[in-house]
């Protein structure tokens, strides 16, 4: 029994990153002097994901030495203009947002995938993020990339599949309850995304 369960865990820990897509970097790329990490656009059904991933992006950018506007300040200044969600930001221009916030660089992001898949003998946890950096003075796109990370698990037999299902469901419930979902996958996806910044 132990050997079978150990085999499942070994496969579960053998994570593999999502295939990388192309990275766009403008010839006019200049590192911003003051950058705002804007609210995420959410293309998933997860309500905790955007806030969690945005904070992870902010933390990683801070560690990389980017001078950032505090998230609370960004949100308040957008709220003052009637914007409460990342999906609304396309209704205005980077120049306007930069003027409101007082930033010369705007980091837009989209949560493209953020889910758990449990199907028979197979389980997957996946996070995929798209990032875009704009010059807030000119409105020019400076950088775009999309990166993701998936943890995959394949059970060796029916008994192991039952155990794996129970473990994954319990982990999902705990992560939802504590509002810290898909931590490993988020960390890896964020690191790989920001690793493409010049």
Q: What is the mean pLDDT of each run of 10 residues along the chain (198 residues)?
A: 39 43 92 97 94 97 97 98 95 98 98 85 86 98 95 71 64 64 92 95
What's the pLDDT score for residue 19? 54
- Taking the C-alpha atoms of residue 28 and residue 46, their distance in angstroms, rounded to an integer, is 36
What's the pLDDT score for residue 178? 59
SS3 172: helix
What's the pLDDT score for residue 167? 64
What's the pLDDT score for residue 99? 98
What's the pLDDT score for residue 117? 79
Residue 108 CB: number of other CB atoms within 10 A?
A: 22
CATH top class, domain 2-194: alpha beta
What's the pLDDT score for residue 172? 63
Ranges of each domain in the chain: 2-194
Q: Which residues contact 126 (CB under 8 A, 6 or more apart)?
A: 18, 113, 114, 115, 117, 148, 149, 150, 151, 182, 185
What's the pLDDT score for residue 181? 80
Question: Burial of 177 by CB count in 10 Å (0-12 exposed, 13-18 middle, 19+ buried)?
Answer: exposed
What's the pLDDT score for residue 1? 38
What's the pLDDT score for residue 154? 72
């Amino acid at each position: 029994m132990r050997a079978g369960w150990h085999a499942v865990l070994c496969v579960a820990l053998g994570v593999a990153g999502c295939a990388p897509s192309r990275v766009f970097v403008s010839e006019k790329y200049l590192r911003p002097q003051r950058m705002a990490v804007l609210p995420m656009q959410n293309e998933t059904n997860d309500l905790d994901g955007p806030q969690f991933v945005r904070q992870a992006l902010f933390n990683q950018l801070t560690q990389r030495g980017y001078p950032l506007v505090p998230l609370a300040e960004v949100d308040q200044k957008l709220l003052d203009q009637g914007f409460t969600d990342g999906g609304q930001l396309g209704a205005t221009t980077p120049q306007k947002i930069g003027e409101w916030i007082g930033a010369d660089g705007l980091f837009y992001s989209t949560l493209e995938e953020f889910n758990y898949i449990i199907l028979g003998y197979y389980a997957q946890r996946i996070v995929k993020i798209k990032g875009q950096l704009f010059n807030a003075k000119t409105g020019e796109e400076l950088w775009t990339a999309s990166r993701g990370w998936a943890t995959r698990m394949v059970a060796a037999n029916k008994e192991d599949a039952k155990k794996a299902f129970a473990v994954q469901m319990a982990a999902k419930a705990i992560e939802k309850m504590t509002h810290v979902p898909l931590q490993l996958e988020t960390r890896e996806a964020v690191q790989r995304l920001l690793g493409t910044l010049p």
